[in-house]
Amino acid sequence: MEEQKVFLPEKEIPRQWYNIQADLPNPLQPPLNPATGQPIGPEDLAKIFPMNLIEQEVSTERWINIPEEVLDKLLIYRPTPLHRARRLEEYLGTPARIYYKNESVSPAGSHKPNTAIAQAYYNKTFGIKRLCTETGAGQWGSALSLGCAMFGLECKVFMVRVSFNQKPYRRMMMNTWGAECVPSPSNETSFGRKMLEQDPECSGSLGIAISEAIEEAVTRDDARYSLGSVLNHVMLHQTIIGLEAQRQMEALGEYPDVVVGCVGGGSNFAGISFPFVRDKIYGKDCQVLAVEPTACPTLTRGPFSYDFGDTAATTPLLPMFTLGHDFMPKPIHAGGLRYHGMSPLVSQLLTDNLIEARAYGQLQSYEAGVIFSRTEGLICAPETNHAVAAVIEEARKAKEEGQQKTILFNLSGHGMLDLSGYDSYLNGELVDYVLPEEEIQRTVEVLKSYPKPKAGR
């Protein structure tokens, strides 16, 4: 019987996160104050984040110790298993060996708790009593609810109203973990009330929800805001995925030729890939592939520019690939990964040609997801399906070229609460959408007046 998956024993769980800022060929460019155009200092963020996380955000230490209290909670579901997708290989008739890291086994069903637990801990030790955040479809809101339950923090989640109404299970999950979840725009913030005055039927957006969460966080001294992707400390916390995967691959005597992750804000991709990118910086040969939807092609078609992290333009300016902070993904896109911007770290790696980016339509992604579910059993999150689509393409290429190849991808989450997308796909109700070139050009025009980061493609 051939081995199908590797469990890493608990005692071999990584004790440190890997901070790629220590190894970047070109250092990350700083966030800017939009009013002055000057780099912001830690104190500019002190009302939004606790100082211990701000320090982590700017640290260039290569290895950062995972606190025992964080490890203790991560061990609820970590180390996660590494699986060989042998049935998928057989179905494709490929000589490639396909491995996936299974982050769906967390209580929230995705990789998001890796940073939610860490953020809850750092806020707790800083004396914070309450965390506020936004959530779109609900993955991040439920992960933070779990993290806060683990450390006895209050948690308030502003959930985009259209998702709040369409996905009641996510709200119920947050409530079960003791969090409060309100539809955004809400009557509980002045920005929310303003939005509702303008349009009482307003269905909400991630940008509005972020603004409400930040507003609520900064009004209380013992409350802070928490973000589930994009920022450096979030990427840092996710590196435990790739560090575990490296040890598991090593146990199999394998090293990946290709590492694949889907990208929205960048956190699961960073998690699986940054430890391998480090090897690459030090001379190892490895292809690293970030996969996004054609409906939200930030890395493949967006300009590299300074831009706001939120639609309401209240955050510092971040150096990143972006489709413009007022970008609104089309409702016909059912595959997630809708964020207009991208982690500055992931963006920097792309400009430095250490990673590649590729975009797939949702039809090809869901097709890949259905193939995966019928061969490997697991029903992936729609986001994850983009990675699966790339893996299948790579495996077919290996077949055509008669080439032995080892592929590793991050199965970032399961799709138990996103089955309506599969249903629409199976019923032939989905269509592909490619962002028109005019929209890209419009963004490029708007961003001309913004500060430019030094390197670009």
Measuring CA to CA, how many Å separate 401 from each of 9, 96, 258, 364?
37, 11, 15, 22
Q: Counting contacts by CB under 8 A, is residue 423 touching a second copy?
A: yes
C-beta of 6 vs 359, nearer to a second copy = 6
Q: Counting contacts by CB under 8 A, is residue 3 touching a second copy?
A: yes
**Closest of 273, 290, 264 to residue 239, by C-alpha:** 273
- What is the per-residue binding string for a second copy in 120-159, x denoting contact by CB under 8 A? --------------------------x--xx---------
Residues contacting residue 303 through CB under 8 Å, at least 6 positions apart? 321, 322, 440, 443, 444, 447, 456
198-232 CB burial, b ≥16 within 10 A, e <16: eeeebbbbbbbbbbbbbbbbeeeeebbbbbbbbbb
C-beta of 175 vs 287, nearer to a second copy = 175
Chosen residue from 16, 175, 203, 287 binding a second copy by CB under 8 A = 175
Q: Counting contacts by CB under 8 A, is residue 166 touching a second copy?
A: no
For residue 304, the tally of other CB atoms under 10 A from its CB is 22
- What is the per-residue binding string for a second copy in 178-197, x denoting contact by CB under 8 A? x-------------------
Order of strands across the sheet with 258-262? 5-6, 82-84, 97-102, 406-411, 258-262, 287-293, 356-360
C-beta of 30 vs 67, nearer to a second copy = 67
Chosen residue from 200, 377, 428, 436 binding a second copy by CB under 8 A = 377
Task: Report in angstroms how near the CB of residue 456 gets to a second copy at its nearest.
Answer: 41
Q: Counting contacts by CB under 8 A, is residue 83 touching a second copy?
A: yes
C-beta of 180 vs 279, nearer to a second copy = 180
Q: Counting contacts by CB under 8 A, is residue 77 touching a second copy?
A: yes
The interface region with a second copy, picked from 77-85, 131-139, 272-280, 433-441 by CB under 8 A, is 77-85
Q: Counting contacts by CB under 8 A, is residue 177 touching a second copy?
A: yes
CB 145 within 8 A of CB 157: yes
C-beta of 85 vs 296, nearer to a second copy = 85
Strands (E), 338-405: 356-360
Q: Counting contacts by CB under 8 A, is residue 43 touching a second copy?
A: no
The interface region with a second copy, picked from 45-53, 103-111, 274-282, 449-457 by CB under 8 A, is 103-111
Q: Counting contacts by CB under 8 A, is residue 455 touching a second copy?
A: no
Instruction: Give the type of residue at 311.
Output: T
The interface region with a second copy, picked from 66-74, 226-234, 311-319, 447-455 by CB under 8 A, is 66-74
Q: How far apart are CA 108 and CA 103, in angstroms?
A: 10
- Check whether the bond before 185 is cis (ω within 30° of 0): yes
The pairing of strands 317-321 and 304-308 is: antiparallel
Q: Counting contacts by CB under 8 A, is residue 428 touching a second copy?
A: no
Q: Counting contacts by CB under 8 A, is residue 62 touching a second copy?
A: no
Task: Report in angstroms how near the CB of residue 130 gets to a second copy at its nearest.
Answer: 16
Chosen residue from 46, 172, 434, 455 binding a second copy by CB under 8 A = 172
The four Cα atoms 352, 353, 354, 357 give a dihedral, to 10 degrees, of 120
Chosen residue from 76, 431, 444, 455 binding a second copy by CB under 8 A = 76
**Closest of 256, 261, 220 to residue 238, by C-alpha:** 261
Q: How many residues bind a second copy (CB under 8 A)?
A: 47
Q: Counting contacts by CB under 8 A, is residue 173 touching a second copy?
A: yes
Chosen residue from 416, 431, 444, 455 binding a second copy by CB under 8 A = 416
CB 130 within 8 A of CB 153: yes
Q: Counting contacts by CB under 8 A, is residue 332 touching a second copy?
A: no
Find residue 320's DSSP bridge partners: 305
Q: Counting contacts by CB under 8 A, is residue 394 touching a second copy?
A: no
Task: Report in angstroms how near the CB of residue 378 gets to a second copy at its nearest.
Answer: 5
Instruction: Give the type of residue at 61.
Output: E
Measuring CA to CA, how many Å separate 330 from each of 98, 101, 183, 340?
32, 30, 20, 12
Chosen residue from 38, 169, 194, 404 binding a second copy by CB under 8 A = 169
CB 322 within 8 A of CB 297: no
Provide the CA 71 distance to its chain's centre, in angstroms.
21
3-state secondary structure of 425: helix
Q: Counting contacts by CB under 8 A, is residue 72 touching a second copy?
A: yes
**Closest of 190, 122, 185 to residue 159, by C-alpha:** 185
Q: Counting contacts by CB under 8 A, is residue 376 touching a second copy?
A: yes
Q: How many CA atoms lie within 13 A of 146 on its CB side?
A: 27
Chosen residue from 1, 200, 282, 449 binding a second copy by CB under 8 A = 1
Residues that bind a second copy in the complex, under the rule CB under 8 A: 1, 3-5, 7, 9-11, 68, 71-73, 75-77, 81, 83, 105-107, 109, 113, 146, 149-150, 168-169, 172-173, 175-178, 370, 373-374, 376-379, 416-417, 419-420, 422-423, 426
